[in-house]
Structure 1
Amino acid sequence: MNNIFKGAGVALVTPFKEDKSIDFDALRKLVRLQLDGKTDFLVVQGTTGESPALSWEEKLQILQTVIDENAGRLKIVFGVGGNNTLAIGETLKKVPAGVDGILSVSPYYNKPTQQGIIEHYTHIAACTDLPIILYNVPGRTGSNVLPTTTIELAKIPNIVAVKEASGSMEQIMEIIRLCPDGFEVLSGDDAITLPLIASGAVGVISVVNNAFPELFNQMIHEALEGNYTAARKKHLDLLPVTKMLFEEGNPGGVKVALETRGILSGHLRLPLVPVSNSLKQRIVTETNRLIHA
């Protein structure tokens, strides 16, 4: 099975109303922004979607809304991950039609050994025929999936890619160097996506892309086509806002940018809280600069 998820993916936020219920109208508006901005694929219920604060029923409602609004135009990846291996396997058997792939984060909090990580993914891969994207984000999980582990998992036919957010260029380039045919690397860190593509990554699952798909997607495609002069200009133009969006955690920052664009209200569910007023003003100013450039 070859990787079909390339280019500019977006880890969709979950819009909330003031009472913290899901704003499905705003979600549809967000999907339309991605379609108009030429995003390549949609990721539903990654961490950016505040998945830990949502019930399974809510996640399915969000997924169905995205599937409906997308109307078959873009590939859809659904986030199904956690630290209870057997439960994840059972959940994967209940994923509805309309999903093209699974994003599954390495087990968090338990801090398994590398062998434990291998056995975790081996089990869940056997529970679905859908392609699986591994997700390595040590800053959230408390453990790093080493390159040797990723390459071992790449031998499993329906494990097709890794979203790498370790922040280590050396580690990610080692995976790119060793990965077998059909298995590819996606950036999980917006700020280093351009150099990773230059090193052989095939795309990104992005947070920034929520708010700035027009500019961000052009940058990704220029880089993939080898037009690094044009891509670098856009990358450097986006870099200040990229840093701001993560300054006080994700997705608080990107929701401010989306609110500035009139897509949704910036409400979050506890334990997440809005960004500080000073940061909010900086994001608003930079968002207005970029969208009116």
Structure 2
Amino acid sequence: MFKGSYVALVTPMLADGTVDVTSLKRLVEFHINNGTHGIVAVGTTGESATLPFQEHIDVVKLIVKLVDKKVPVIAGSGANSTSEAIFLSEQMAGLGVDGYLSVVPYYNKPQQAGMVAHFNAIADATDIPLILYNVPGRTVADMMPETVAELSKHKNIVGIKDATGDLLRLEETKDLVSDDFLFFSGDDETGCNFMCRGGDGIISVTANVTPKIMSDMCEAALRGDVEASQQINKQVIELHRALFIEPNPVMPKWALYKMGIIENAFLRLPMVLPELSSKKAIEETLSALNLI
């Protein structure tokens, strides 16, 4: 099913806040040509929180068309309202997506039982595979291993993106689920070690900027070559860190702009362009990698 380096794709914007379709086309081509194993369309890195429903759906539709079945496309369909998450999932069901990524409801701080009810309701709504997304640094609420295990019993819930950065969490959860349940890291800095300990892939911010390095690193880990995977990862350790100097996706957009992949680095409010010191830091890292 889903394995390897999946890019948490940014959504290029124009100065007026609308989606930059020309840059999006170039960005998708960049990933197809550089070995990205799959694309996550309009996840949280894609600024899903600030795209109205129809625009969210339209961008996913466009990405599916641009990808043209060359790699799997997973659509972000999360919301802190269960009914909204179901609506998004149902609306995108006919677009040709290969899976959904749905985040733990943010702000609400649901109980573990609430998370079970929330995700089961979404998974009941369509037959498309659903990947859970646990990112307590953003949502506050943390999905516990026992909750993941309960949800894994649903035939449509096939895996989890774990952005806790806690490698022990991976081991604890793997012990509670079936062998075919998928584990994606959502934390680039620990992603290599995550895969070398049995993870199936990374849903990566860094892959926006260095898709070939990230796909090579994942492929080495998947074939069991831990040393090669770690050596490849060493190339981008500083990039992993630099991309999170400011809240995501501020820095990956600036990096892609400086690399000439997208026309500009505009974000949708309340996100704004990075501080001058942050620009200098990421540009130094990109220069060291010969990307600019």
TM over 0.5: yes
Give the Cα separation in 2 of the matches to 1:28 and 1:121.
Answer: 32
Give the Cα separation in 2 of the matches to 1:261 and 1:166.
Answer: 30
Alignment match, 1:87: 84
Q: Which of the numbers 104, 107, 123 marks the counterpart of 1:106?
A: 104
Alignment match, 2:217: 219
Alignment of 1:44-83 (within 5 A): 44-83=41-80
**Once the 2 structures are TM-superposed, how far is the Cα of residue 6 of structure 1 from its aligned partner?**
0.8
Q: What is the SS of the residue equivalent to 2:270?
A: coil
**Once the 2 structures are TM-superposed, how far is the Cα of residue 278 of structure 1 from its aligned partner?**
1.3
Alignment match, 2:32: 35
Q: Is 2:268 the partner of 1:274? A: no
**Once the 2 structures are TM-superposed, how far is the Cα of residue 90 of structure 1 from its aligned partner?**
2.9
Alignment match, 2:4: 7
**Once the 2 structures are TM-superposed, how far is the Cα of residue 292 of structure 1 from its aligned partner?**
5.2
Task: State how many pairs are aligned.
Answer: 290
Structure-1-length-normalised TM-score? 0.96
Alignment match, 1:240: 238
Give the Cα separation in 2 of the matches to 1:261 and 1:173.
Answer: 38
Alignment of 1:94-133 (within 5 A): 94-95=91-92, 96-133=94-131
**Once the 2 structures are TM-superposed, how far is the Cα of residue 167 of structure 1 from its aligned partner?**
2.1
Alignment match, 2:286: 287
Show structure 1 runs of 5+ residues with no match. none
Alignment match, 2:146: 148
Q: Give the counterpart letter for 2:176 in structure 1.
A: L
Q: CA, structure 1 residues 32+291, in 2 after alignment: closer, same or farther (shift >3 Å)? A: farther
Greater displacement, 173-182 / 244-253: 173-182
**Counterpart contact for 1:176–1:201, Cα < 8 Å:** no
Q: What is the SS of the residue equivalent to 2:116?
A: helix
Of all paired residues, the percent bearing the same amino acid is 37
Q: Give the counterpart letter for 2:238 in structure 1.
A: P
Q: CA RMSD in A?
A: 1.3
**Once the 2 structures are TM-superposed, how far is the Cα of residue 86 of structure 1 from its aligned partner?**
2.2
Q: Give the counterpart letter for 2:9 in structure 1.
A: L
Alignment match, 2:183: 185
Give the Cα separation in 1 of the matches to 2:4 and 2:19.
Answer: 29
Q: Which of the numbers 238, 258, 261 marks the counterpart of 2:259?
A: 261
Q: Could you report, residue by residue, the CA deviation over 1:224-271 in whole angstroms, capped at 9, with x for unpaired residues?
A: 112222221221220111101011110111111111210111111111
**Counterpart contact for 1:11–1:206, Cα < 8 Å:** yes
Q: Is 2:15 the partner of 1:18? A: yes
Q: CA, structure 1 residues 292+247, in 2 after alignment: closer, same or farther (shift >3 Å)? A: closer
Structure-2-length-normalised TM-score? 0.96
Q: Give the counterpart letter for 1:169 in structure 2.
A: L
**Once the 2 structures are TM-superposed, how far is the Cα of residue 14 of structure 1 from its aligned partner?**
0.5
